Amino acid sequence: MEEVNHESAGRETPNGGRVSSGIDGLDDVLCGGFVPNRTYMVRGEPGAGKSILGMHFLRAGLDAGESVLYINLEESTKNVKENAASLGLNLDGVDFLDLSPDSDYFARNLSYDIFSPDEVEGDSVTGEITTRVEELNPDRLFIDPLTQLRYLAPDDYQFRKQILSLMRFFNVQGSTVLFTAQATETRPDDDLQFICDGTLNLERTDERRTVTATKFRGSDFRSGPHTLTIDHGGIRVFLNQLPQTAGRKFESETISSGVPELDQLLNGGIERGTVTIITGPTGVGKTTTGIQFMKEAAGRGERSVVYLFEENERTLMERSGSVNIPVKQMLDQEVLSINETKSLELSVDEFNERVRAEVEERGAEIVMIDGIVGYKFALLGENDELTHNLHALCKYLKNMGISVILINEVQDITGEFQVTDDGGLSYLADNILFLQHLELNGEMRKAVGVLKKRTSDFERQLREFRITEYGVQIGEPLTNLRGILSGRPEQPDDDFEQ
């Protein structure tokens, strides 16, 4: 179940709507966006993306026909616009109040109480802010960074008192306010967290960036951390939760592999909305068997998607083409998509978003993850987190009526049969199809069998398995062999099926 925090739940939202952050994923975190006419803080260390988030916020206002104001207290307007342009963000139409200092501005003015303009010579900083806000009456206001004003206040108490007064002034003007804050060891920002209506924490580690909502008055929000990325186009946010409620309606029909003997083993094939683990040692034919189901689906005009974690697309295409599985043609006809994932390139949140796009936007009917071990090594996250996500992802796909194929590699080439090396994933499966290398009279052979099928009965005999230039071939049941699962079968009667 999705985890949703409730703070002041049920409080009526002003104007009955939300103010978009300009970032779709972040609006999802905030259950629709910011509550209008309130004040929100964005926290984070330098380089975390605070200013970029504010740019999205103002750009969304312009796109909605609103008036917006950027109060820049640290970087010049020229630098702000250049930074935005480097990310492909257009700030044309944004009004700026540039209060960025020169090198010694704040040193000169440390003794000034900026909130009492009648006690200092000339216009105070606050006077400039209030005058511009009254003139423009902005729908959206972004202050970057508000903590810069702390250096002009006589003490922390006066700073908190006057900032609270300033925020009330903005709210009276009808503005939705976003401001950035950067805490230090000597100057924490805890006081600002009490003043604002909501807080977003941006964090950056060597592996990933995240955003977490820790406070959001008057609304629900989705607990974090959620993955945040910054590239050309600005910020993207990926939820750390998958929908686990009832998905779309689908017919619970059986899907054929296109190989009659394999279908016979599976009592007709695999069903829609089920998870199938194809397991076995390296080189035994697991991926080819999975692609065989997709070849048959392509003949029905259905779309499939493969996520490669243990080999590249070129190798898959060449290998499949040599065994009569026309992967290139399937790609050209757009009934197959291949996604090659490089090591430590994606977080689990980003990966989930890619899978959802294939299912919800492009209509994929079969999803194959090749393989489970590579998935755990390639994606960013702890092993327990990745295993938990795989469970959640499979549940989501099943709810959507997707046939899921998980390719799992066990380490032993021959020996006692095992479903998985870690023993923690077999309960995920509705179907378990296993492939095994055999050593017989000094020759390597292969066998295939079904270990589990939740939705129906299945054939309990083992059959010889071969991959030829004509594709997957399944032989007659191996009734004259014993000890096949050990990898070293005995042959008490007839010779091995030729």
> Which distant-in-sequence residues (6+ apart) come within 8 Å of 231 by Cβ?
87
Between 473 and 249, the higher pLDDT residue? 473
What are phi and psi for residue 497, nearest 5 degrees?
-55, 125
Do the domains 4-238 and 254-486 sit in the same CATH topology, yes or no? yes
DSSP states of 215-284 = EETTEEEE-S-EEEEEETTEEEEE-S----S--------EE--S-HHHHHHTTTSEETT-EEEEEESTTS
Distance separating alpha carbons of residues 290 and 404, to the nearest angstrom: 10
Strand order of the β-sheet with 443-453 is 336-340, 303-308, 364-370, 403-409, 275-280, 431-440, 443-453, 463-468, 471-477
Distance separating alpha carbons of residues 346 and 208, to the nearest angstrom: 9
In 3D space, the residue among 329, 458, 309 whose CA is nearest the CA of residue 373 turns out to be 309
- pLDDT > 80? residue 104: no
Instruction: Look over the chain and give the mean of its residue pLDDT values, rounded to a whole number.
Output: 85
What are phi and psi for residue 16, nearest 5 degrees?
65, 20
Between 150 and 365, the higher pLDDT residue? 365
Query: Which residues, listed in sequence order, are joined to residue 409 by a DSSP beta bridge?
Result: 280
Tens-digit pLDDT profile for residues 324-351: 999 999 999 999 999 998 877 888 999 9
Strands (E), 290-377: 303-308, 336-340, 364-370
Q: Are residues 216 and 223 in contact, defined by beta-carbon separation less than 8 angstroms?
A: no
Distance separating alpha carbons of residues 192 and 411, to the nearest angstrom: 55
CATH of 4-238, picked from 3.10.150.10, 3.30.1600.10, 3.40.50.300, 1.20.1050.10, is 3.40.50.300
Q: What percent of the chain has pLDDT over 70?
A: 85
Between 495 and 1, the higher pLDDT residue? 495
Q: What is the CATH T-level fold of the domain 254-486, as seen in this structure? A: Rossmann fold (3.40.50)
Tens-digit pLDDT profile for residues 284-329: 999 999 999 999 999 999 999 999 998 899 999 999 999 999 999 9
Q: Which of 166-180, 219-233, 302-316, 435-449 has the least mean pLDDT?
A: 435-449
Per domain, the residue ranges of the chain are: 4-238, 254-486
Q: Give the pairing of strands 219-222 and 140-144.
A: unpaired
